[in-house]
Amino acid sequence: MSTLAHVFEAEGLATIALGSQRNQIAGTAPPRGLWCDFPLGRPLGKPADPDFQHRVLSHAFSLLDADGPIFAEFGEAIVDDATEVMACPLPPRHDPDAHPAVDEARGLRPAYDRAVERYGNRMGAGRVVDVDDIVGAIESFIRVADGTPWKEAGIPGIPARVAQDIRGYYETAALGLADHVPSAWAGTRWFLDQTRTGEVILSAREAMKEAGVKGPVWFYLTPGDR
């Protein structure tokens, strides 16, 4: 991002780079950089808080008045509450003949649709796997968890990106179930620790690791801290 900022500036287009990691934005030195001490994935700080977001944007746009390179800091920090646990009641079993993860994912579709209608599809499915194909993607990871080599399991794309779409589907559905906007990583913790599909992804990850699959293929099925 900082490299592109230099390219655009050289062509006469003013830029502002917002970053959530101090060392990264300071080290890459964009022409105008604003460090915001926010959780990754929330560049404007607080979802559904337009006043806060406008304060961030006002600070960022004020950097356009600077003549030379500038590194600035936004004055308010947001610390992710790593202890928050989302209270998202999962749908009851509907089809006892389906795998629990498949039945769960199907049951969450109404909540997913409600959240997309309210918030838009900012982080849901669709980067690699369309929402209508999420169940099929989950089934491919079930096969991996059950011992099928990942290249033969029918994963519809790069495994990490497919897993990200599945997680995005669940985290979006969680917004349709929760009564508030959760902290930055609460949805991810809920998905991995409390859902049957999260259990499948973790099991598939472990199966790929034990099978000797190259590290990047299995490691990035979940965030790096898992």
pLDDT band for 179, please (50, 70, 90 cuts): low
pLDDT at 81: 62
127-162 pLDDT, tens digit per residue, is 899 999 999 999 999 999 999 999 999 999 999 999
- This prediction has a pTM of 0.75
- 142-145 — which CB contacts under 8 Å span 24+ positions? 142/99, 142/101, 142/102, 142/200, 142/204, 144/204, 144/207, 144/208, 145/200, 145/203, 145/204, 145/207
pLDDT at 154: 97
Mean pLDDT of 92-109: 95
Structure tokens belonging to residue 69? 């390179």
